[in-house]
Chains A and B, each alone.
Chain A
Amino acid sequence: MTRTREHRSKPPLRKPEKPFYFNTSEHLLRIGREQAGTLSQLLQALRECPDDSIFQHTLRTLQEHHFIRHGFSNDFAHWSLSACNEPVLAEQLASVDVHEFTTIEGLRQRMIGTVEEFLQQRPLSADRPAHEPFYFCASTIVVLPTPFAPDSLPGFIDGLRRVSVHSIHHHFIEARLRLKRMSNDFSQWIEEEVGAQDAALAIERIDIYTNTMEGVRQRIARITEQLLN
């Protein structure tokens, strides 16, 4: 009985037909036109700013502060507390999980909805001047190859350990916007090329808000190493 269950949960691994191409993305930061000095201005700017700005202040922030486990997960939340002294809104914005979105538009609408709802409940907060303005920025992204293109699981683990955290972010966080699905490049390759569905799912379930990018790397490495044992 036990043997059968083990057999079902660990199907034989396949030899990958396609290599995993480790890429990385580099970002050039642009200063945007939008600024906000109050929460109502933030709301307006959230509606009008380019997608790149939403990306910058949410997904990119995760990478910029990837070494910190504590603190707010996006710039809007951070500003709501530090400049507007609105801890409730800050917590609500921080709880928006970028993992739930496959489009920037979806993420933008959630941010707008969160601020709108807060201001409906606390209209006096709308036009209270912030201690400092929020400056919207945006990134120009350049995707670069790395020397690592493994076609085996051991090679994948080796590459994973050697690429930069920017590459981890590129394949694990940014990928869902590229793939337009609730997955990431690592899970997709491990499922499609190696045939390890459970491992792919385990990787997808890694919590990016309680791990640093370095922690994400270690977790993925452990999950894939278990496949070899």
Chain B
Amino acid sequence: MKSPQSRTATQDRPPGASAGPQLSAAAAGPPEESPAAVASRAPERPLPSSVLTPPAPSPPPHLDDYQNIIGQAQVDALRFLARELKGKTLKMVNSTAVGGGVAEMLNRLVPLISELGVNAHWDVITGGNDFFEVTKAFHNALHGSPYEFTQNAKDIFLMYNEQNRARMQFDEDLVVIHDPQPLALVCARGKSPARWVWRCHIDLSHPHAQLWEFLRPFVEQYDAAIFSSQSFARQLPITQYLFYPSIDPLSEKNKDLDESVVQKVCDEFGIDRSRPIVTQVSRFDRLKDPVGVVQAYKLAKKYVDCQLVLAGGGASDDPEGAAVLQEVKETAGNDPDIIILDLPPWCAIEINAIQRASTLVIQKSLREGFGLTVTEALWKGKPTIAGAVGGIPNQIIHKLTGTLVHSVEGCAFQIRYLLTHPEFAKRIGANGHEHVKENFLITTNVKRWLLLFRVLSEAGPANK
């Protein structure tokens, strides 16, 4: 999950400001370049005006809108599940209302649960810059980064949690706290019969030891914890559930698009749809290994014709992202078939169109949370090559729903193989779509929340 700070920085950027989106071809253009190469390369020009400002948000879909996707039987199952929960109350609490995966997910999840008759609310904690600086450091340290954990950090964390506890009411039947920032709100549960659940979206497999010892007593006061992957969990005395993250098939990034929209986006970005397109969508971040993707493409290109599209963001408002983007450009060299797009975060339709136009999708991450870009590609039926890290192996069953790789060379071979075996590629793409439909759609997550609510409600009075 993105930290509140980086989210804020992105949101605060005025639309179309100079630090904003840029379209750049990989080649800077050596003087001896042939006219043919110049003509075939995506031109150095600003992005189309249509993507310079965020589009107006579309209204959230209703449950019946998903019927064509998941089937009437699944919609019925959700209604049956919710029947016994009618009138019960649920509160979700996190640390930001906009930006980032958790807020994006809650934006869709809470209305759907409410539509099913559960009285669902979503509250956001408040805090000063000092609080969010501390929790950003917590976030990184829980991922295993070195950190000097000080008494001052503890005090700031506890003070803001206490302020929020005093300000908020917790009268609901189920309270769900997302991520570490509001973790200590659990001190408010007292003797109330409500159930409290901690939804941890980050990888706790190798946390900073001292910090984890500080946070652990809070976690143990919950009735249950939820993780995004088996490998992210810790040994805890409370029940731990596995909720995979999910995508919304009706969101701008994942909804079906008219062929004309896909073509228009490709035309605008200089992507040639008459030739194979290999794409990685991700921030310009070393852990996503965009340089490795370019190297794999170059190895594969000796055998197969294709274009490489690297579509992402993060280079405009993040110094490290800019450095990574520069490394990518240097590795790409003069190749006119490498198209690098530094897109603003609201370009969901464009990302959707590029994914749909792609022949293959790559996510060659070196470390990963769950890897929702993999989910998005699989949902679009794309044969997908991905690093076997984080939550990706939950999505890609090697050679069945995609292919897993561990190196640049492995990635290059899979590009060659999939481009030259279209029937196999088509089959794993279709399997991947079904896998997502079954496990990683927002409607499956609604079901999990309803199931959890029922299971916790039936477990008798809380005894914490």
Contacts and interface: CB of A to CB of B under 8 A. Distances in A.
Interface stretch (B141-149, B156-164, B237-245, B368-376): B237-245
B322 to A, nearest CB: 34
B107 interface: no
**Does more than half of chain A's interface fall in helix, strand or loop, or is it mixed?**
mixed
22 contacts: A24-B73, A26-B451, A28-B451, A29-B241, A29-B242, A31-B242, A64-B438, A66-B438, A67-B434, A67-B438, A68-B431, A71-B397, A71-B399, A71-B400, A132-B231, A135-B233, A142-B455, A144-B80, A146-B73, A146-B77, A162-B72, A166-B77
A150 B393 CA distance: 41
A29 B230 CA distance: 10
Nearest to B230: A135
Interface in B87-120: none
Contact of A164 (B73, B400, B431, B455): B73
Contacts of A10: none
**Does more than half of chain B's interface fall in helix, strand or loop, or is it mixed?**
helix
The 4 closest A-B pairs by CB, nearest first: A135-B230, A164-B73, A67-B434, A31-B240
Interface string B432-460: 00110011000000011001101100000
B275 interface: no
B231 A135 contact: yes
A140 B73 contact: no
A65 interface: yes
Contacts of A167: 73
A53 to B, nearest CB: 12
B434 A163 contact: no
Nearest to B428: A68
Contacts of B439: 64
B227 interface: yes
Nearest to B70: A164
Nearest to B231: A135
Q: What class of interface size applies to chain B in its complex with A?
A: 35 or more
Interface in A105-159: 132-133, 135, 137, 140, 142, 144-147
A70 interface: yes
A82 B242 CA distance: 22
A140 B455 contact: yes
Contacts of A29: 241-243
A30 interface: yes
B242 A137 contact: yes
A167 to B, nearest CB: 7
A27 B438 CA distance: 12
A124 to B, nearest CB: 24
Contacts of A33: 235
Interface in A65-121: 65-68, 70-71, 78, 82
B2 interface: no
A70 to B, nearest CB: 7
B31 interface: no
Interface of A: 24, 26-31, 33, 64-68, 70-71, 78, 82, 132-133, 135, 137, 140, 142, 144-147, 162-164, 166-167
A28 B74 contact: no
A33 B234 CA distance: 9
Given A29-B242, A67-B434, A164-B71, 7 more contacts: A65-B397, A65-B400, A67-B431, A132-B388, A142-B81, A146-B76, A147-B76
A108 B401 CA distance: 28
A171 to B, nearest CB: 13
Given A140-B451, A144-B77, A164-B73, A68 B400 contact: yes
A31 B77 contact: no
Contact of B240 (A30, A64, A147, A162): A30
B398 interface: yes
Given A31-B230, A71-B400, A135-B231, A164 B77 contact: yes
A164 B401 CA distance: 21
A144 B235 CA distance: 32
A147 B435 CA distance: 26
Contacts of A70: 400
Nearest to B438: A64
Given A140-B455, A164-B71, A26 B240 contact: no
Interface string B393-435: 1000111110000000000000000000000000000010011
Given A28-B451, A145-B80, A164 B74 contact: yes
B71 A31 contact: no
Contacts of A64: 438-439
B241 A132 contact: no
B451 A67 contact: no
Given A67-B431, A137-B230, A140-B451, A31 B73 contact: no
A26 B399 CA distance: 28
Contact of A31 (B227, B399, B400, B448): B227
Interface string B54-96: 0000000000000000011110110011000000000000000
B231 A24 contact: no
